[in-house]
């Protein structure tokens, strides 16, 4: 990471990252920028080393202490062996047409989600975790079971790079099918705008918990989808049904805002009640918030 400039935040800016053509390069720079940022933030205690070491606890053998780490940090860390660190992770990505939206000045939700998925996959493989990928809309479009090799990660990048959002969202049906495909418990990460029936969404999310998986939800929204700040008269097109509606946004902005907030809070509340970690991510946000959420969840599973 010595090749990074001190202004690491530029590698976490969605607008800048989106200009990079290579998804592999995007993932690497986002992760490296994130790790550099950790050392400049209140989260100094986290680092990529946590995947191979854990803090010393009473009863641990002295032979397992990593004295090199002690020399650098003056803290005791225990070497953690591969069988202790290996985790099976699944990234489930919504590729329905609604994910193709972007307001002026922001990246498409799909592009943000692709880059986030790639960065999470990169981070997992660096941690010696196995990572898999599922793409879904009305049904499962692609399912790659978890593996922990860098060559396999390139296949995940390849699938992410060729996504073309299409079809309407049948979140519950697709997620229920995926819950049945996941035979061994692991960490399930679901990335979607969740524009579907809330009750059916929650039931499908609980399906993963019933099978004893840990679950992280990332709800990806464009800032204008929350504010509805379009200003003048506008024609709105449903990207999934192609229906059009002409309206004056300022007249319905308050009602829309209340409905959207209720929608978001319903998903968040039900996730919390079901011990599912919920994260609301706007496409204008740097990627570090999402990556930190994964790091914290991952460290709790050790």
> Is-contact 219 193, C-beta < 8 A?
yes
Please tell me the predicted confidence (pLDDT) of residue 132: 97
CA distance 115 to 24: 9
Q: What percent of the chain has pLDDT over 90?
A: 53
Please tell me the predicted confidence (pLDDT) of residue 158: 96
Please tell me the predicted confidence (pLDDT) of residue 42: 53
Closest CA to 120 of 165, 162, 177, 160: 160
pLDDT digits (tens, 9 = 90+) for 1-22: 444 444 667 889 999 999 998 9
pLDDT digits (tens, 9 = 90+) for 220-241: 999 988 877 655 555 545 555 5
- Mean pLDDT value across residues 151-170: 91
Any idea which residue has 């641990």 for tokens? 60
> Is-contact 215 276, C-beta < 8 A?
yes
Dig out the tokens for 13 from the structure.
């800016």
Instruction: State whether residue 149 is helix, strand or coil.
Output: coil
The answer, yes or no, to whether residue 102 has pLDDT greater than 60, is yes
Residue 262's pLDDT band, with cuts at 50, 70 and 90, is very high
Average of per-residue pLDDT values in the chain: 83
Closest CA to 217 of 126, 283, 297, 163: 297
> Is-contact 218 278, C-beta < 8 A?
no
Count of Cβ atoms closer than 10 Å to residue 296 Cβ: 13
Please tell me the predicted confidence (pLDDT) of residue 46: 46
Q: What percent of the chain has pLDDT over 70?
A: 77
Instruction: State whether residue 251 is helix, strand or coil.
Output: helix
CATH architecture of the domain formed by 86-301:
3-Layer(aba) Sandwich (3.40)
Distance of CA 103 to the CA centre of its chain: 21
The residue that leads in pLDDT, 153 or 229, is: 153
Residue 34's pLDDT band, with cuts at 50, 70 and 90, is confident
Please tell me the predicted confidence (pLDDT) of residue 45: 46
C-alpha distances (whole Å) from 287 to each of 124, 189, 223, 236 are 15, 15, 15, 29
Closest CA to 248 of 260, 232, 236, 237: 232
* Stated length of the chain: 302
Buried b (16+ CB within 10 A) or exposed e, 206-226: bbbbeeebbbbbbbbbbebbe
pLDDT digits (tens, 9 = 90+) for 104-151: 889 999 999 999 999 999 999 988 889 999 999 989 999 999 999 999
Domain residue ranges in the chain: 17-83, 86-301
> Is-contact 223 106, C-beta < 8 A?
yes
- Mean pLDDT value across residues 245-264: 74
The answer, yes or no, to whether residue 252 has pLDDT greater than 80, is no
CA distance 146 to 142: 13
pLDDT digits (tens, 9 = 90+) for 268-292: 999 999 999 999 999 999 999 899 8
- Mean pLDDT value across residues 55-82: 69
Dig out the tokens for 102 from the structure.
């972007």
The answer, yes or no, to whether residue 202 has pLDDT greater than 90, is yes
User: CA angle 232-233-236, nearest 5°?
Assistant: 120
The answer, yes or no, to whether residue 27 has pLDDT greater than 70, is yes
């Amino acid at each position: 990471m010595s090749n990074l400039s001190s202004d690491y935040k530029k590698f976490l800016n969605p607008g800048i990252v989106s200009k990079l053509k290579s998804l592999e390069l995007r993932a690497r720079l986002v992760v490296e920028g994130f790790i550099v940022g950790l050392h400049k933030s209140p989260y100094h205690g986290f680092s990529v080393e946590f995947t191979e070491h854990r803090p010393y606890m009473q009863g641990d053998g002295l032979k397992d202490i990593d004295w090199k780490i002690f020399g650098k940090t003056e803290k005791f860390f225990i070497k953690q062996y591969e069988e202790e660190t290996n985790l099976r992770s699944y990234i489930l990505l919504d590729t329905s047409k609604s994910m193709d939206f972007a307001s002026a000045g922001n990246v498409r939700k799909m592009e943000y989600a692709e880059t986030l998925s790639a960065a999470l996959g990169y981070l997992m493989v660096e941690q010696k975790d196995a990572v898999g990928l599922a793409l879904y809309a009305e049904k499962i479009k692609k399912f790659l079971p978890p593996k922990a090799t860098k060559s396999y990660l390139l296949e995940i990048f390849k699938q992410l790079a060729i996504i073309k959002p299409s079809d309407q969202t049948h979140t519950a049906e697709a997620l229920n099918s995926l819950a049945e495909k996941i035979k061994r418990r692991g960490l399930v990460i679901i990335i979607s705008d969740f524009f579907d029936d809330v009750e059916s969404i929650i039931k499908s999310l609980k399906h993963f918990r019933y099978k004893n998986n840990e679950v992280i939800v990332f709800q990806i929204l464009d800032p204008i989808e929350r504010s509805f700040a379009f200003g003048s008269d506008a024609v709105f097109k449903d990207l999934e049904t192609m229906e059009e509606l002409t309206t004056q946004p300022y007249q319905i902005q308050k009602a829309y805002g209340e409905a959207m907030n209720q929608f978001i809070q319903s998903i968040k509340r039900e996730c919390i009640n079901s011990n599912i970690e919920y994260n609301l991510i706007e496409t204008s946000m740097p990627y570090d918030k999402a990556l930190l959420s994964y790091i914290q969840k991952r460290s709790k599973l050790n």
